[in-house]
Structure 1
Amino acid sequence: MPLVVLCGFPCSGKSRRAAELKRHFEQSSPRRVHVVGEGGPGLDRSSVYADSQSEKNLRGALRAEVERKVNKDDIVILDSLNYIKGYRYELFCLIKHTQTPHCLVYCLTSAALSSAWNSSRAASEQYTQETLDALVLRFEAPDSRNRWDSPLFAVQPDDALPFQEISDAIFKRKAPPPNQSTQSQPLSSTNFLYQLDKITQDVLLAVVSAQKTSVPGDQVTVPGTSEKVELTRSINMAELRKLRRQFISYSKMHPTENGGQISNMFVQYLNKSLN
């Protein structure tokens, strides 16, 4: 069913609010409630957020988990920083595609209070002060005037959650209508699927074969296109297959009558995803 996105500084009480929401929904609704969070055994959040690539991977994993769980029946609560407005927009596009409502709960704290709460945690769960300060500086506060940040519920540390208002926002509102970028369209022809499958598979095989004699920085020529795959790093087959599946899903929603463009589009997609 709906998605509830938590947002706030590190150590601002998001997990506590997520737990309160989970208890409330479980007591007041027959729907299942899933909390998707970044916590886990052995996860050093300070190290993750100190490295841009590790942070990007974490955001991607969280988004993928939300995408797997969100549907028209269950409630999903995303417990993470969610401090980048572009990432919140991606989540908004996701719920538009699923055609389910969402809302944002913003846990308001001062940087000083977040730092104090961070210091009170077990050493293994703390952010370094440098990482915490950097995240506070990078934080992009939600704005209810943005459709991806609305409805917005801002709560202070001592505030009680507005359970009724949040419930109304996700149960009594219509889902945002899908647009061209999120709504599935009919495939243009039966031959399109065959071309899509064969061409993307050929590109993958060309990349895998080229990697045997290439080094990072090389450009790989693939059949059927003047575009080249930029090998910025080593890419295993599992990752390539995942990207191929994502591209095929996207292409089914945006079919092209020009089969000759599929190779170009797939190579461009690979380059964008791998950089």
Structure 2
Amino acid sequence: MPFVVISGFPASGKTTRTKELLEFMKKEWPKNVVVISEHDFVKDQDKDYTYSSSQVEKDVRGALKGEVIRKISKDDIVILDGLNYIKGFRYELFCISKNCRTPQVTVHCIINPEQAWKWNESRPESQRYSRAVFDGLVMRYEEPDSRNRWDSPLVTVQADDLTPAEAVLQALRAAPAPKPNMSTQNPMLAPTDFLFELDRRTQDVVKAIVSAQESAMEGDQLPVTGTSERYTVPSTGRLTLAQLSRARRQFVSYLKTHPADPASIPTLFVQYLNNTDR
């Protein structure tokens, strides 16, 4: 389940680092090690065509992201080999990690642009970037920053360095799995009749309170149908039907986006009334 994101300029040695990481991890990691390569999604069309069209490039990123979602599993290491040069895309990958509760490490391949260009020129012609596309990607590149939670922990490797495979593995083992938050979790699915039950049960609570408070004094605790929770008559006096109806509408609006067990609705509504300034 640990996730490694490789990032760097074009022709910065990312694929070489990925292969060396793969060989090392296969020996050290007890489960599978999976590589997802950007090259596999660009191979049917040349690099210049892909990175000269924002829509085609966006489609490639979408395919990579989908593949990451499919390949992340409970125990496997997933290595994503690609430019991954857009900060927002790396954040999206981080959200996938958060949702899966898996540690993520970013490996930044650092190289001088001119040296990267020389490496690019030494490749077979079919694998090269044109100068215009190369310069455009370098200009648009957003470097990983360890201060960003989606880039941390960050392992950097210079062009002449050995691949820091051991450091990457240690970072994966030491990094805590990020805790998912509301933005990365699937919302709770409500029963198909939830809205009907929400409306009916809150209406019943309002009717019960209107009826019970006819003979009640401030501070009295009134029983309410459907719950053991008691409604406390406020010190400001009994609430009118209009006031209770307004509070009910506010409560219903909230619960529409935060579904709960229908059986708990009367209890939650009474608690809401007791704790709302009235």
What RMSD in Å do the two structures reach over aligned CA positions?
Answer: 1.9
Name the CA shift for 1:132/1:187 in 2 (closer, same or farther; >3 Å): same
Give the counterpart letter for 2:153 in structure 1: P
Aligned equivalent of 2:56: 54
Cα distance in 2 between the residues matched to 1:23 and 1:257: 47
Aligned equivalent of 2:146: 144
Aligned counterpart in structure 1 of residue 174 of structure 2, from 161, 172, 177 = 172
Aligned counterpart in structure 2 of residue 42 of structure 1, from 26, 41, 44 = 44
Runs of 4+ in 1 over 3 A off after TM superposition: 190-193, 254-258
Give the counterpart letter for 1:95 in structure 2: S
Cα distance in 1 between the residues matched to 2:95 and 2:155: 20
CA contact (8 A) 1:155 1:161 kept: yes
Aligned equivalent of 1:103: 105
User: Aligned pair count?
Assistant: 198
Counting only pairs closer than 5 Å after superposition, residues 188-203 of structure 1 correspond to structure 2 as 188-191=190-193
Aligned equivalent of 1:7: 7
Identify unmatched segments of 5+ residues in structure 1: 194-253, 259-275
Name the CA shift for 1:129/1:32 in 2 (closer, same or farther; >3 Å): same
CA contact (8 A) 2:20 2:165 kept: no
CA contact (8 A) 1:187 1:255 kept: no
Deviation at 1:43, TM superposition (A): 3.2
Matched, 1:156 2:158: yes
Q: Secondary structure at the match of 1:149?
A: coil
CA contact (8 A) 1:71 1:100 kept: no
Deviation at 1:84, TM superposition (A): 0.4
Cα distance in 2 between the residues matched to 1:255 and 1:68: 31
Deviation at 1:257, TM superposition (A): 7.1
Give the counterpart letter for 1:36 in structure 2: I
Aligned equivalent of 2:21: 21
Give the counterpart letter for 1:166 in structure 2: V
Deviation at 1:114, TM superposition (A): 0.9
Name the CA shift for 1:174/1:129 in 2 (closer, same or farther; >3 Å): same
Matched, 1:87 2:66: no
CA contact (8 A) 1:188 1:256 kept: no
Give the counterpart letter for 2:174 in structure 1: K
Aligned counterpart in structure 2 of residue 75 of structure 1, from 77, 84, 92 = 77
Cα distance in 2 between the residues matched to 1:153 and 1:255: 44
Specify the structure having the higher radius of gyration (Cα): 2
Deviation at 1:160, TM superposition (A): 1.5
Deviation at 1:87, TM superposition (A): 0.4
Identify unmatched segments of 5+ residues in structure 2: 196-254, 260-278
Give the counterpart letter for 1:171 in structure 2: R
Give the counterpart letter for 1:19 in structure 2: K
Cα distance in 2 between the residues matched to 1:24 and 1:82: 22
Counting only pairs closer than 5 Å after superposition, residues 216-235 of structure 1 correspond to structure 2 as none
